[in-house]
Chain A
Amino acid sequence: MNIIVCVKQVPDTNEVRIDPVKNTLIRDGVPSILNPDDANALEEALKIKDENPDTYVTVLTMGPPQAKEMLAECLAMGADEGILLSDRALGGSDTWATSNALAKGIKKIGNYDLIFAGRQAIDGDTAQVGPQLAEKLDIPQVTYVKECRISGKDIIVKRALENGYENIKIQMPCLLTAIKELNNPRYMSVLGIYRACRQEVSVWSAKDIAISEEEAGLEASPTNVFKSFTPAPKGKGITIEGDTPKEIISSLIGKLKEKHII
Chain B
Amino acid sequence: MAINIIEEKCKGCGLCIKSCPFDAIEMKDKLAVINEKCTVCGQCPESCPFDAIEKTEAEEAEAADLSAYKDVWVYAEQREGKLMNVALELLGEGYRLSREIGNVKVCALLIGDGIENLAKECYAYGADKVYLIEDPLLSRYTTDGYTKVITDAIKEYKPEIVLFGATHIGRDLAPRAAARLNTGLTADCTRLDVKTSSYIEYLAKNTTLDVAGLDGATDDRGLKQTRPAFGGNLMATILCPNTRPQMSTVRPGVMTKREKEDSASGELVKVSHDLKARDIRTEVLEAVKTAKELVSLVDAEVIVSGGRGLGDAGGFKLIEKLAEKVGGVVGASRAAVDSGWIQPAHQVGQTGTTVKPKIYIACGISGAIQHLAGMQTSDIIIAINKDEEAPIFEVADYAIIGDLHKIIPEMIEQWAE
List the interface of chain A (C-beta within 8 A of B). Answer: 11, 13-18, 20, 23-25, 27-28, 32, 36, 63-64, 86-88, 90-92, 94-96, 99, 120, 122-132, 134-136, 140-144, 156, 159-171, 174, 179-181, 218-219, 221-234, 236-240, 245-246, 248-250, 252-253, 255-256, 261-262
Give every chain A residue within 8 A of B169 (Cβ-Cβ): 161
Give every chain A residue within 8 A of B39 (Cβ-Cβ): 92, 225
CB proximity to A under 8 Å, residues B388-417: 391, 393-403, 406-407, 409-411, 413-415, 417
Q: Is the CB of A14 within 8 A of B414?
A: no
Give every chain B residue within 8 A of A64 (Cβ-Cβ): 35-37
Query: In the complex the two chains form, what is the Cα distance from A16 to B238 in whole Å?
Result: 22
- Is B6 at the interface (CB under 8 A from chain A)? no
Give every chain B residue within 8 A of A141 (Cβ-Cβ): 143, 172, 176
Q: Is the CB of A13 within 8 A of B350?
A: yes
Chain B residue with the shortest CB-CB distance to A217: B36
Q: Is the CB of B176 within 8 A of A131?
A: yes
Q: Is the CB of B175 within 8 A of A132?
A: yes
Query: In the complex the two chains form, what is the Cα distance from A11 to B233 in whole Å?
Result: 12
Q: Is the CB of B394 within 8 A of A20?
A: yes
Would you give the shortest CB distance from B272 to chain A, in whole angstroms? Answer: 24
Give every chain B residue within 8 A of A262 (Cβ-Cβ): 359, 415
Chain B residue with the shortest CB-CB distance to A19: B18
Query: In the complex the two chains form, what is the Cα distance from A63 to B38 in whole Å?
Result: 11
Shortest 8 CB-CB distances between A and B: which pairs?
A13-B231, A91-B36, A222-B184, A223-B184, A140-B281, A237-B397, A126-B187, A135-B179
Complex A-B: 20 CB contacts under 8 Å: A13-B368, A20-B394, A25-B234, A63-B37, A123-B230, A135-B147, A144-B168, A162-B167, A164-B287, A165-B287, A165-B288, A166-B288, A218-B38, A221-B184, A224-B239, A227-B236, A229-B235, A232-B207, A253-B417, A256-B380
A252-B382, A252-B400, A261-B358 known; 4 new pairs, CB 8 Å cut-off, are A122-B231, A141-B172, A237-B396, A253-B417
Q: Is the CB of A140 within 8 A of B282?
A: yes
Q: Which of B21, B40, B147, B343 contacts A218 (CB 8 A)?
A: B40
- Is B43 at the interface (CB under 8 A from chain A)? yes
Would you give the shortest CB distance from B251 to chain A, in whole angstroms? Answer: 10
Q: Is the CB of A253 within 8 A of B415?
A: yes
Would you give the shortest CB distance from B376 to chain A, in whole angstroms? Answer: 6
Q: How many B residues, CB 8 Å from partner?
A: 112
Q: Is the CB of A14 within 8 A of B368?
A: yes
- Is B104 at the interface (CB under 8 A from chain A)? no
If A64-B36, A249-B407, A250-B414 touch, whether A224 touches B241 (CB-CB below 8 Å) is: yes
Give every chain A residue within 8 A of B393 (Cβ-Cβ): 236-237, 239
Give every chain A residue within 8 A of B414 (Cβ-Cβ): 246, 249-250, 253
Q: Is the CB of B242 within 8 A of A222?
A: yes
Query: In the complex the two chains form, what is the Cα distance from A132 to B236 in whole Å?
Result: 22
Would you give the shortest CB distance from A186 to chain B, in whole angstroms? Answer: 15
Q: Determine, out of B89-97, B253-261, B289-297, the stretch whose residues face the partner at the interface.
A: B289-297
Give every chain B residue within 8 A of A181 (Cβ-Cβ): 343-344
Q: Is the CB of A237 within 8 A of B381?
A: yes
Give every chain A residue within 8 A of B171 (Cβ-Cβ): 127-128, 143
Q: Is the CB of A14 within 8 A of B334?
A: yes
Give every chain B residue within 8 A of A226 (Cβ-Cβ): 224, 237-239
Q: Is the CB of B143 within 8 A of A18?
A: no
Residue-by-residue, is B34-50 near A (CB-CB < 8 Å gives 1, otherwise 0)? Answer: 01111111110001000
Q: Which of B188, B288, B394 contacts A164 (CB 8 A)?
A: B288
- Is B263 at the interface (CB under 8 A from chain A)? no
Query: In the complex the two chains form, what is the Cα distance from A228 to B1 in whole Å?
Result: 15
Chain B residue with the shortest CB-CB distance to A139: B281
Give every chain B residue within 8 A of A256 (Cβ-Cβ): 380, 398
Would you give the shortest CB distance from A119 to chain B, in whole angstroms? Answer: 8
Chain A residue with the shortest CB-CB distance to B417: A253
- Is B186 at the interface (CB under 8 A from chain A)? yes
Q: Is the CB of A168 within 8 A of B284?
A: yes
Would you give the shortest CB distance from B129 to chain A, in whole angstroms? Answer: 26
Query: In the complex the two chains form, what is the Cα distance from A165 to B285 in whole Å?
Result: 11
Give every chain B residue within 8 A of A228 (Cβ-Cβ): 41-43, 229, 234-237
Q: Is the CB of A96 within 8 A of B178?
A: yes
Q: Is the CB of B235 within 8 A of A230?
A: yes
Chain B residue with the shortest CB-CB distance to A160: B168
Query: In the complex the two chains form, what is the Cα distance from A132 to B288 in whole Å?
Result: 27
- Is B67 at the interface (CB under 8 A from chain A)? no
Q: Is the CB of A132 within 8 A of B1?
A: no
Would you give the shortest CB distance from B309 to chain A, in whole angstroms? Answer: 15
- Is B180 at the interface (CB under 8 A from chain A)? yes
Q: Is the CB of B168 within 8 A of A16?
A: no
Give every chain B residue within 8 A of A156 (Cβ-Cβ): 285
Give every chain A residue within 8 A of B187 (Cβ-Cβ): 124-128
Query: In the complex the two chains form, what is the Cα distance from A253 to B415 in whole Å?
Result: 7
Give every chain A residue within 8 A of B186 (Cβ-Cβ): 223
Of A20, A163, A180, A249, chain B has the most CB atoms within 10 Å of the CB of: A249
Q: Is the CB of B399 within 8 A of A240?
A: yes
Q: Which of A18, A87, A253 contacts B233 (CB 8 A)?
A: A18
Q: Is the CB of B239 within 8 A of A223?
A: yes
Q: Which of A124, A165, A167, A237 contacts B399 (CB 8 A)?
A: A237
Give every chain B residue within 8 A of A94 (Cβ-Cβ): 184
Q: Is the CB of A134 within 8 A of B231?
A: no
Give every chain A residue within 8 A of B399 (Cβ-Cβ): 237-240
Q: Which of A143, A174, A221, A227 contacts B168 (CB 8 A)?
A: A143
If A11-B23, A245-B407, A249-B410 touch, whether A224 touches B231 (CB-CB below 8 Å) is: no
Query: In the complex the two chains form, what is the Cα distance from A16 to B169 in whole Å?
Result: 30
Q: Is the CB of A88 within 8 A of B395?
A: no
- Is B78 at the interface (CB under 8 A from chain A)? no
